[in-house]
């Protein structure tokens, strides 16, 4: 992850832009609102924090779900997704 930050937030934060189709966004936002007051953004932040906790070696009940989802998803390993892969 880059050390850069967007000037509007504190230096300890970074804004992440996610590109989704309108249809995907509407469906995901509708689903997320059932569980998170702030909707999809809140879910994305929680997911990113869980990924960071996995990287830091912390384990837990919810983290095992995140890890399970990550290892079962057919991630592209080249092209637009980058060539580094998981470390």
78 or 23: which leads in pLDDT: 23
Query: Does residue 42 carry a pLDDT above 50?
Result: yes
Token output for 17: 């832009």
Per DSSP, the three-state class of 30 is: helix
Q: For the whole model, what pTM was predicted?
A: 0.65
Query: Does residue 69 carry a pLDDT above 70?
Result: yes
Calculate mean pLDDT across residues 50-57. 84
Query: What pLDDT, on the 0 to 100 scale, is given for residue 21?
Result: 96
Query: Does residue 19 carry a pLDDT above 50?
Result: yes
Number of domains in the chain: 1
Query: Does residue 44 carry a pLDDT above 70?
Result: yes
User: DSSP letters of 42-60?
Assistant: HHHHHHHHHHHHHHTT---
Domain carrying residue 31:
1-87
């Amino acid at each position: 992850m880059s050390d850069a930050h967007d000037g509007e937030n504190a230096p300890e934060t970074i804004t992440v832009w996610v590109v989704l189709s309108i249809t995907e966004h509407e469906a995901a936002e509708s689903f997320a609102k059932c569980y998170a007051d702030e909707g999809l953004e809140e879910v994305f932040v929680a997911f990113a924090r869980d990924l960071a906790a996995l990287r830091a070696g912390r384990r837990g009940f919810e983290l095992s779900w995140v890890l399970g989802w990550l290892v079962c998803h057919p991630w592209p390993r080249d092209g637009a997704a980058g060539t580094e892969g998981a470390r």
